[in-house]
Amino acid sequence: MDAARLHEYTEEMGEALSIDEVDRPSPSRSDHVVIEVEGAGWCQTDNHIIEGMWTDYVEQDLPMTLGHENAGEVVEIGDEVSTVEVGDKVICHPLMTCGQCRACRLGEDMHCENGQFPGLNTDGGFAEYLLTSERSTIKLDSVDPVEIAPHADAGITAYHAARKAVPHLHPGSHAVVIGIGGLGHIGLQALEAMSATTTIAVDIKDEALSLADRLGADHTVNSSEEDVAEAVEAITDGAGAEQVLDFVGADETTALAPEVVAPGGDHHIIGYGGHIHEPSQALVNGEFSFVGNIVGKYTELQELVALVEGGEMHLETSQYPLEEINDVAEALEHNEIEGRAVIVP
């Protein structure tokens, strides 16, 4: 089968991956599931993997097939698989979990002690077929796998952060969403679907803010033209926002926290690549918290699929064949893709 594989770390996205002929995977454990990939979302994390940014956090053996936002049709199953059958359409939680460790017992899938992450530390879905596990698959009833594939990471990550924020968002409260891109436009909708908060969308592009407006944002702020702290102060009558969802995670956006987060509130870091440089006194004075977020739970992906199948969640996507995968990587590197790109092997 054809697979897009990373052979060496590089910052040159236009030549990052090669299309190689590799063996089709087959079940080697009783809980294994092989899917024919119909859609695999391209993520900013894929760019970071190509750059070698993840080598300090996980062991990676190159060459490796990338792609961790996967959906498609089940074509082969292990002997003990009972929750999906050949022919089922599924979306895959990005982590293959053991089910036995304490984190798994608590439902904290992303912290599985024995987890495998296709596209990060084992072969992923930028290929014709993907090997995953029964615990990772969620059946789809009415949604096209190509359309929903990015929810396997982008969607669940945004939903995970919004779900943590929602208990602190009462009617009359404010939530700031920074970065209305591939994740941010999902996070905005999750807040709108699950709370009565007043939302403030922040981005540097008018096109992104127009999308935010269409998706229900109560206020929009163009950070290339307006001072974000002043805008939030005006909108909240000086109280600040109880929750901030930062889908950019750059130095400039994390630095906004002391000025825009209400006392006792949270600044959720979802996008990454920057740093947090705040004096400890700023956190003490404001009694606010920086909160990290990485993907989400299997059950949260189930909930997100229910929202999608119920028509509550819109996903902006564009589709590309496997042969154009490096063009996609380069376009995303230059912030030229609106919403999410989906590779169709």
pLDDT in tens, 26-56: 999 999 999 999 999 999 899 999 999 999 8
Is it the case that residue 273 has pLDDT exceeding 90? Answer: no
When pLDDT is cut at 50, 70 and 90, the band that residue 281 belongs to is: very high
Instruction: Please name every residue paired with 47 in a beta bridge, in sequence order, or none if there are none.
Output: none
**CA distance linking residue 219 with residue 235, whole number of Å:** 8
DSSP code of residue 226: S
* Same domain, residue pair 228 and 328: no
Contacts of 223 (CB under 8 A, 6+ apart): 178, 202, 203, 204
pLDDT at residue 95 in the model: 94
* Same domain, residue pair 200 and 338: no
DSSP code of residue 118: B
CB contact at 8 A, 139 and 165: no
Is it the case that residue 257 has pLDDT exceeding 90? Answer: yes
* Same domain, residue pair 12 and 107: yes
For residue 266, what are the CA distances in angstroms to 28, 100, 245, 285?
44, 32, 8, 14
* Same domain, residue pair 139 and 8: yes
Is it the case that residue 338 has pLDDT exceeding 80? Answer: no
* Same domain, residue pair 73 and 201: no
What does the pLDDT average to over 303-328?
93
* Same domain, residue pair 215 and 274: yes
State the CATH number of the domain containing residue 51.
3.90.180.10
* Same domain, residue pair 163 and 206: yes
Is it the case that residue 339 has pLDDT exceeding 90? Answer: no
Q: What is 149-207 written as a DSSP string?
A: GGGGTHHHHHHHHHHHHGGG--TT-EEEEE--STTHHHHHHHHHHH--PEEEEEES-HH
**CA distance linking residue 277 with residue 292, whole number of Å:** 15
**CA distance linking residue 243 with residue 91, whole number of Å:** 30
* Same domain, residue pair 26 and 101: yes
Contacts of 320 (CB under 8 A, 6+ apart): 42, 327, 328, 341, 342, 343, 344
* Same domain, residue pair 96 and 111: yes
* Same domain, residue pair 190 and 129: no
**CA distance linking residue 235 with residue 198, whole number of Å:** 10
Residue-wise pLDDT tens digits, 61-100: 999 999 999 999 999 999 999 999 999 999 999 999 999 9
Closest Cα partner for 243 from 171, 174, 167?
A: 174
pLDDT at residue 314 in the model: 87
pLDDT at residue 316 in the model: 83
Identify the sign of the CA torsion 217, 222, 223, 227: negative
pLDDT at residue 103 in the model: 95
Query: Please, what is the average pLDDT of the chain?
Result: 95
State the CATH number of the domain containing residue 265.
3.40.50.720
When pLDDT is cut at 50, 70 and 90, the band that residue 8 belongs to is: very high
In percent, the amount of the chain with pLDDT more than 70 equals 100
β 69-77/32-42 pair status: antiparallel
Range of the domain at 84: 2-153+295-344
Domain count for the chain = 2
Closest Cα partner for 84 from 38, 145, 132, 119?
A: 132
**CA distance linking residue 42 with residue 319, whole number of Å:** 10
Residue-wise pLDDT tens digits, 94-153: 999 999 999 999 999 999 999 999 999 999 999 999 999 999 999 999 899 999 999 999
* Same domain, residue pair 219 and 286: yes
Largest pairwise CA distance in the chain: 61
Q: Is 28 exposed, middle or buried (0-12, 13-18, 19+ CB in 10 A)?
A: exposed
* Same domain, residue pair 266 and 248: yes
Residue-wise pLDDT tens digits, 170-213: 999 999 999 998 899 999 999 999 999 999 999 999 999 999 99
